Amino acid sequence: MLTIENYNRDITSAVFYGWDLIMADKLKETYVFQLMQRENSKLRVHITLGRELQQAEFPSSEMFYQCYIHDYACEWSKTVWLNAKDINYNTFWNMIESVVGEHHPILPF
C-alpha cells in the first residue's frame, strides 16, 4: 500500500505555475487532489492516485500505481501508470504539470 508523507503540504499554494492545490485527501484506496487555475477559479483539475499496485493496461511484468487526471468540465482525461520511483514530489508534480499544460497552457510571462 502506497503511503505518501505530507501529501497535503501544499494546500492553498502553487504546485506549479498558475495552479494552486486546493484539496488533498487520503482515502482507503486512493489519494485525491484538486487543482484550481489562478486566472480562472472555475477551471479545476482532479487527480486520483491509486494506493495499490495494479496491472497496467499495457503488457508488462511490472505492477504500477494508476493516476487518473481529468478536468471538471469533462473535456479531457488521461490515465498515467506510475512505477514506485515516479512517486516522489518533483517527478509526480512535473508529470501533472505536463498533462495539465497539454490542455490548459499558461505562459509564465
Per-residue pLDDT band at 60 (split at 50, 70, 90): confident
Q: How many domains does the chain have?
A: 1
Q: Which has more confidence, 26 or 105?
A: 26
% the chain with pLDDT above 70? 97
Give me the pLDDT at residue 14, please: 79
- Specify the 3-state DSSP secondary structure of 66: strand
Q: What range does the domain containing 54 cover?
A: 13-103
- Asked if residue 7 belongs to a domain, the reply is no
- Asked if residue 69 belongs to a domain, the reply is yes
Region 47-55: mean pLDDT is 95
59-77-10-98 Cα dihedral, nearest 10 degrees:
70
Q: What residues contact residue 66 under an 8 Å CB cut-off, 6+ apart? A: 49, 50, 54, 56, 79, 80, 81, 82
Region 81-89: mean pLDDT is 87
% the chain with pLDDT above 90? 63
Give me the pLDDT at residue 81, please: 95
- Asked if residue 72 belongs to a domain, the reply is yes
